[in-house]
Amino acid sequence: MLKRSQNGVWVLALALIGLALAGCAPTIAAAPAAPVAQVRAATPQEVYPRLPGDLGGGLILLDVRTPQEWAEDGHIAGATLIPLAELEARAAGELPQDAEIVVYCRSGNRSQQAAAFLVEAGYTDVSDMGGIYTLGVSPGTVIHDNHFHDVESFSYGGWGLYTDEGSTGIVMKNNLVYRCSRASFHQHYGKENRIENNILAFADEQQLQRTRTEPHISFFFERNLVYWDNDNPLLGSNWSDDNFRMDHNLYFRVGGKPVTFPGGLTFEQWQQQRHQDQHSIVADPGFVDSQKDDFRLKPNSPALQIGFEPFDLSQAGRQIPARLTADLPPVPTGFE
């Protein structure tokens, strides 16, 4: 997912499911002949094949989480732990400026700070990852009770929940996602994923994105709260077929502006002509204070009418010990 800024900085946005590193960022640093600050974006397909072979040969995988997160939540084999709070004191002695440095954390915030510091310190090719990213056939995978926010990109990328190539059988529920530069949810292509009971707010270019039409059901999108305050569309990219299922959702544009759908359809036309969102509503969900990132619901919120179940945002993140992968079942065969 490549994203380029005006000053030549590239940013990477994705996350590593196996460690529940949702939203933390690889930062790649390598000095070019003419020192121009860069943050380069990469996909998992680009990074993973280089591990562990390139580690120690010019590539450094930098984990800027705390030692407790490193120990309890797991970490990528071969990674280097330098907590963000110690990065300024340790970078010069431990991170060569001619190395590639891929930085990651847990939620994206610390990795963004680390990337900014490294550029300021003279590292001139820096990458960052953020949000949650999935690939392939993954029955039984449940991504839940996470808090993803401020997932930024300068061009391609910048999604919150991202089901990429062939993602299948994945459940994403009870996640709070807000301020993503591209969309709160994006599916490139996949099959029968379930996006349920999430709060998705304040995305920029569009709120939800679907890239590819498919001969099967792409995903089920149900009991979600989608809330935004700009004039960009609710649904972006490709919604030309009906091989997806949307229902029991709440949509609201701040200020009571009309909610429209692909083809300029009104909400009622969307229901009648496309047969989607038959039991969904357009209403203010009644957040306590969304401008201060307080997305708790006030009493008697209309969100309860659609079957939305409030979740405890204070419990976001891993609540159980990390589990080794040696005893997991084999990866199922993918599909074309």
Going from the C-alpha of 269 to that of each of 163, 250, 262, 275, 320, the distances in angstroms are: 28, 16, 10, 9, 45
pLDDT at 298: 96
What lies within 8 Å, CB to CB, of 141 at 6+ separation is 17, 134, 169, 170, 171
Specify the 3-state DSSP secondary structure of 273.
helix
**Residue 64 sits in the same domain as residue 160:** no
Residue 128 in any domain: the answer is: no
CA-based max dimension of the chain: 64
Q: How does residue 14 score in pLDDT terms, banded at 50, 70 and 90?
A: very low
Q: Element (H or E) spanning 44, and its range?
A: helix 44-47
Mean pLDDT in residue range 8-34: 34
What are 64's two structure tokens? 């800027």
- Which residues face 190 on adjacent strands? 167
Q: Are residues 255 and 221 in the same domain?
A: yes
pLDDT at 31: 32
Structure tokens at 14: 């994705």
Q: Taking 80 as the threshold, does the pLDDT of residue 318 lie above it?
A: no
Regarding whether 153 and 107 lie in a shared domain, the answer is: no
What is the domain-level CATH number for residue 55?
A: 3.40.250.10
Where is average pLDDT lowest: 124-128, 208-212, 261-265?
A: 124-128
Spell 176-190 as b/e; 16+ CB within 10 A means b. Answer: bbbbbbbbbbbbbbb
Burial class (CB in 10 A: 0-12, 13-18, 19+), 139: exposed
Predicted local distance difference test score (pLDDT) of residue 46 = 64
Task: Average the pLDDT over each of 106-115, 121-130, 189-198, 304-313 and give the range with the smallest value.
Answer: 121-130
The answer to the question of residue 26 being in a domain is: yes
Residue 111 clears pLDDT 80, i.e. is over it: no
Q: Give the pLDDT mean for 191-208.
A: 97
Q: pLDDT tens, 244-286? A: 999 999 999 999 899 999 999 999 999 999 999 999 999 999 9
Q: Same domain for 230 and 201?
A: yes
How many domains does one find in the chain? Answer: 2
| pTM, 2 dp | 0.64
Judged by average pLDDT, the poorest of 45-59, 155-169, 270-284 is: 45-59
In this structure, of 75-79, 175-179, 206-210, 253-257, the range with the lowest mean pLDDT score is 75-79
Active site residue 105: yes
Please indicate whether residue 132 or residue 230 has the higher confidence score (pLDDT): 230
Look at residue 158 in the predicted model and tell me its pLDDT: 80
Task: Clarify whether residues 180 and 206 are in a common domain.
Answer: yes
Taking alpha carbons only, the member of 185, 108, 200, 187 closest to residue 152 is 108
Assess whether 71 and 219 both reside in one domain: no
Q: Identify the band that residue 317 occupies on the pLDDT scale cut at 50, 70 and 90.
A: low
Structure-block tokens of residue 250: 């709440």
**Which band of pLDDT confidence, cut at 50, 70 and 90, is reported for residue 324?**
low
Task: Quick: pLDDT tens for 232-243.
Answer: 999 999 999 999
Q: Which of 89, 120, 151 is the last residue of a domain?
A: 120
Q: Residue 9: pLDDT band by 50, 70, 90 thresholds?
A: very low
Q: Is there a domain that residue 176 lies in? A: yes
Query: In terms of residue numbers, what domain contains 80?
Result: 17-120
- Give the residue, 296 or 106, on which the prediction is more confident: 296
Better pLDDT: 152 or 292 = 292
Residue 79 lies in a domain: yes
Distance (Å, rounded) from C-alpha 28 to C-alpha 16? 16
Across the chain, mean pLDDT equals 80
- DSSP per-residue letters across 169-199: S-EEES-EEEEESSEEEEESSEESEEEES-E
Please state, in angstroms and rounded to a whole number, the distance separating the CA atoms of residues 11 and 127. Answer: 5
- pLDDT at 239 (0 to 100): 97
Q: Does 152 have pLDDT greater than 70?
A: yes
| Res 55 pLDDT > 50 | yes
Choosing from 13, 76, 105, 118, which is the catalytic residue? Answer: 105
Residues 98 and 144 in one domain: no
DSSP 70-133: HHHH---TT-EE--HHHHHHHHHHHS-TTSEEEEE-SSSHHHHHHHHHHHHTT----B---SEE
Cβ neighbour number for residue 211 with a 10 Å cutoff: 14
Average pLDDT over residues 157-169: 88
How far apart (Å, rounded) are the C-alpha atoms in residues 182 and 232? Answer: 11
Are 94 and 196 in a shared domain?
A: no
The pLDDT score that the predictor gives to residue 329 is 64
335 assigned to some structural domain: no
- By DSSP bridging, strand 250-253 and strand 225-228 are parallel
Domain end position, chosen among 120, 141, 163: 120
State whether 99 and 213 are in the same domain: no
Do 267 and 227 reside in the same domain of the chain? yes
Same domain as 174, residue 106: no
Percent of the chain residues past pLDDT 70, beyond the cut: 74
Domain-located, residue 4: no
**77 and 143 part of one domain:** no
Query: Which pLDDT belongs to residue 23?
Result: 37
